[in-house]
């Protein structure tokens, strides 16, 4: 392993296989017991405004948040667009703190997803500018270079690929570059990718495996901190003048408050799982739809202004995360159903994103539709802070493939890609060929 390119695309054969296995194991965990989540949730949306019970466990057959004990609180589920939007928007009534009960054990420090109220609002306001489009777009040349040089160009001679191989690695590689880690130390990147693997592999339901997974993840989380802290100190000593994420975070300020070194390191660390698998699955879904919806590939190949529309419609039509759970901080009520304080409310995103009272022909993948808010990146105060980074990466990946792989198309000798799963949906493989 000498060059960054070799390491970046596939850190090591065995390591790549392990990541593929870990990713496949997570997909299996969330495969669930139904074949068509959209049909199952549409039936509920039309008949039952509020389901009283654990719909996710009972109907989908998958666990909700890692580390969360099933059956510990009264549980309800909502399916309609407006109900899902109202719950996600009202973060004072429908809170996230419970997420730290499971994950918090591993992620001490800034775990923004599990924060509530003014503490969350202030931190979010401090972090937000670094992730707004005008700032994120300045990273485009760096992201384009990583995608082209480290991923697409090295595979060109093969004339065939499973695009999930690059899809598994580029989000981790891009985060490594954006955080500002050294570009001339492939062994450090390989280590970073190995930690990403540990974090994916930690997602288990089996109690013993979950405990072991959490132990390994906790180790990775600690080591990540140990490599991040010196980077943060170095950037601060340099005056935070760089355009990397750490420098941007060092300079972030809101109402006179700034982040200290510990906060910058713990937040940067938390981005590895937030930005990895989610982007892999969304890229896989976008490529699957691009390659399989009749006529779409030719249109997008010839008109790249359609790429953002392709990505937005993918996030509506095939959200990788099919539900979001919240806990009620007070007694409340939805559609006449009383929901006591301390209940879980399951927001079924897969249903709301296909609500035909809001989206015309909601079950049709249509990149020309006028986009309205949907929930693949969440909604309200916790809406994905990295959505513009994710969209930019996926955009650069699709453009790199269409530019560099002449006549890219499905491999007719392999099974067509299929987006699967009750939750954390995505294709396992996307086999393509080119001239
Ligand atoms: C296509 C890829 C991605 C998808 C589908 C996705 C999805 C989501 C969703 C649904 C949420 C809201 C969770 C909730 O409300 O419970 C979220 C939050 C978050 N995402 Fe993403 N994400 C993606 C990529 C990224 C990237 C690239 C980053 C970082 C650069 C990122 C960082 C975060 C963070 C920090 C939060 C927590 C925000 C908060 O609690 O205020 N995500 N993401």
Phi/psi at 300 (5° precision):
-70, -40
CA of 13 to the centre of ligand 1 (A): 29
Q: Is 384 in the pocket of ligand 1 (CB under 6 A)?
A: yes
User: Two tokens at 399?
Assistant: 């453009």
Q: Which pLDDT value is given to residue 23?
A: 78
SS3 86: helix
Q: Quick one: pLDDT at residue 69?
A: 59
For residue 111, tell me if it sits in a domain. Answer: yes
- Tokens of residue 68, six digits: 């969360």
Q: Are strands 257-258 and 253-254 parallel, antiparallel or unpaired?
A: antiparallel
Bin 183: left if φ > 0, else alpha if -120 < ψ < 50, else beta.
alpha
Q: Which CATH number is 407's domain given?
A: 1.10.630.10
* Whether the CB of 392 sits within 6 Å of ligand 1: no
pLDDT the model gives residue 18: 73
Asked if 207 and 222 touch (Cβ cutoff 8 Å), the reply is: no
Name the residue with the closest Cα to ligand 1, atom 36. 384
Sequence-separated (6 or more) residues with CB below 8 Å from residue 246: 179, 180, 228, 231, 232, 235, 264, 268
Residue nearest to atom 12 of ligand 1 (CA): 378
Residue 58, CA distances (Å) to 40, 70, 76, 223 in order: 12, 11, 12, 38
Total length of the chain: 435
Beta bridge partners, 345, equal: 76, 326
Pocket lining: 288 vs ligand 1, CB cutoff 6 Å: no
- 178-223 per-position pLDDT tens digit: 998 888 887 788 788 888 877 777 766 667 777 777 778 888 888 8
Cα of 363 vs its chain's centroid, Å: 22
User: In whole angstroms, what is the distance from residue 34 CA to residue 41 CA?
Assistant: 11
Answer yes or no: is the C-beta of 389 below 6 A from any ligand 1 atom: yes
Token pair belonging to 153: 């160009």
Indicate the pairing of strand 160-162 with strand 431-433: antiparallel
Report how far ligand 1's centroid is from the alpha carbon of 72 (Å).
26
**Is ligand 1 within 6 A of the CB of residue 273?**
no
Number of domains in the chain: 1
Question: Among the atoms of ligand 1, which is closest to the Cα of residue 380?
Answer: 15
pLDDT tens digits in sequence order for the chain, 435 residues long = 345 555 555 555 566 677 777 778 788 878 888 889 999 999 999 999 999 999 998 998 887 764 455 667 899 999 999 999 999 999 999 999 988 876 666 677 678 999 999 999 999 999 999 999 999 999 999 999 999 999 999 999 999 999 999 999 999 999 999 998 888 887 788 788 888 877 777 766 667 777 777 778 888 888 889 999 999 999 999 998 999 999 999 999 999 999 999 999 999 988 888 888 899 999 999 999 999 999 999 999 999 999 999 999 999 999 999 999 999 999 999 999 999 999 999 999 999 999 999 999 999 999 999 989 999 999 999 999 999 999 999 999 999 999 999 999 999 999 999 999 999 999 999 999 999
Token representation of residue 175: 């985060």
Nearest CA to ligand 1 atom 9: 377
Task: Report if residue 434 sits inside a domain.
Answer: no
* Beta carbon of 385 within 6 Å of any ligand 1 atom: yes
Which atom belonging to ligand 1 lies closest to the Cα atom of 120?
41
C-alpha 294/C-alpha 123 separation (Å) is 44
Q: How far is the CA of 274 from the centre of ligand 1 (A)?
A: 6
Q: What is residue 150's DSSP assignment?
A: I
Nearest to 349 by CA among 26, 38, 30, 90: 38
User: Which residue puts its alpha carbon closest to atom 6 of ligand 1?
Assistant: 377
pLDDT of residue 1: 37
Q: Which of 302, 293, 257, 288 is nearest to 124 (CA)?
A: 257
Nearest atom in ligand 1 to the alpha carbon of residue 320 is 5
Domain assignment of residue 107, yes or no = yes
pLDDT tens-digit series, residues 7-41: 555 555 566 677 777 778 788 878 888 889 999 99
321 lines ligand 1 (CB under 6 A): yes
Which ligand 1 atom is nearest residue 124's CA?
41
Evaluate whether 160 touches 173 at the Cβ level (below 8 Å): no
CB-based burial label for 209 (10 Å; 0-12, 13-18, 19+): middle
Cα 53–58–62 angle (5° rounding)?
Answer: 120
Residue 66 confidence (pLDDT): 45
CA within 13 Å, CB half, 345: 32
Whether 317 is in a domain gets the answer: yes
Cβ–ligand 1 distance for 126 under 6 Å, the answer: no
> Which residue lies with its CA nearest to atom 7 of ligand 1?
377
Tokens for 141, please give them: 């040349």
382 lines ligand 1 (CB under 6 A): yes
Ligand 1 touching residue 67 (CB < 6 A): no
Tokens at 396, concatenated: 């650069």
Residue numbers of the domain that contains 422: 4-428
* Residue 280 beta carbon below 6 angstroms from any ligand 1 atom: no
Q: Whose CA is nearest to atom 4 of ligand 1?
A: 278
Nearest CA to ligand 1 atom 40: 113
Q: Which segments within 285-380 are labelled E, that is strand?
A: 323-328, 332-334, 337-339, 344-348
Atom 31 in ligand 1: residue holding the nearest Cα: 386
What local confidence, expressed as pLDDT, does residue 205 receive?
A: 65
Residue nearest (by alpha carbon) to ligand 1 atom 41: 382
């Amino acid at each position: 392993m000498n060059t960054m390119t070799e390491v970046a695309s596939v850190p090591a054969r065995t390591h790549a296989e392990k990541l593929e296995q870990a990713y496949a194991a997570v997909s299996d965990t969330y495969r669930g017991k139904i074949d068509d989540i959209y049909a199952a949730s549409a039936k509920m949306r039309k008949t039952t405004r509020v389901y009283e019970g654990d719909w996710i466990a009972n109907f989908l057959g998958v666990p909700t948040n890692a580390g969360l004990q099933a059956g510990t609180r009264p549980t309800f589920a909502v399916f309609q667009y407006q109900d899902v939007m109202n719950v996600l928007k009202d973060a004072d009534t429908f809170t996230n703190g419970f997420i730290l009960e499971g994950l918090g054990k591993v992620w001490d420090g800034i775990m923004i997803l599990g924060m509530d109220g003014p503490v969350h609002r202030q931190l979010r306001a401090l972090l937000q500018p670094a992730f707004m489009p005008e700032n994120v777009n300045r990273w485009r040349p760096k992201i384009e270079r990583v995608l082209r040089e480290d991923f697409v160009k090295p595979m060109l001679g093969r004339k065939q690929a499973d695009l999930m191989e690059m899809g598994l690695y580029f989000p981790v590689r891009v985060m490594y570059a954006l955080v500002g880690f050294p570009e001339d130390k492939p062994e450090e990147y390989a280590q970073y990718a190995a930690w990403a693997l540990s974090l994916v592999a930690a997602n288990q339901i089996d109690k013993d495996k979950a405990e072991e997974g959490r132990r390994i993840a906790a180790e990775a989380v600690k080591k990540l901190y140990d490599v991040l802290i010196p980077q943060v100190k170095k950037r601060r000593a340099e005056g935070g003048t760089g355009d990397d994420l750490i420098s941007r975070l060092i300079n972030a300020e809101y109402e006179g408050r700034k982040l200290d070194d510990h906060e910058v390191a713990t937040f940067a660390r938390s981005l590895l799982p937030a930005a990895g698998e989610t982007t892999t699955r969304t890229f896989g879904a976008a490529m699957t739809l691009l390659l399989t919806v009749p006529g779409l590939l030719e249109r997008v190949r010839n008109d790249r202004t359609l790429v953002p529309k392709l990505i937005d419609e993918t996030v509506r039509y095939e959200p990788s995360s099919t539900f979001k759970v919240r806990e009620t901080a007070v007694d409340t009520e939805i559609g006449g159903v009383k929901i006591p304080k301390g209940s879980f409310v399951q927001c079924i995103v897969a249903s709301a994103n296909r609500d035909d009272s809001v989206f015309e022909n909601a079950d049709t993948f249509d990149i020309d539709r006028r986009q309205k808010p949907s929930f693949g990146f969440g909604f309200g105060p916790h809406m994905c802070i990295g959505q513009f980074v994710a969209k930019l990466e996926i955009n650069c990946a699709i453009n790199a493939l269409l530019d560099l792989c002449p006549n890219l198309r499905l491999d007719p000798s392999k099974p067509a890609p299929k987006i699967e799963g009750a939750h954390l949906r995505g294709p396992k493989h996307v086999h393509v060929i080119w001239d």
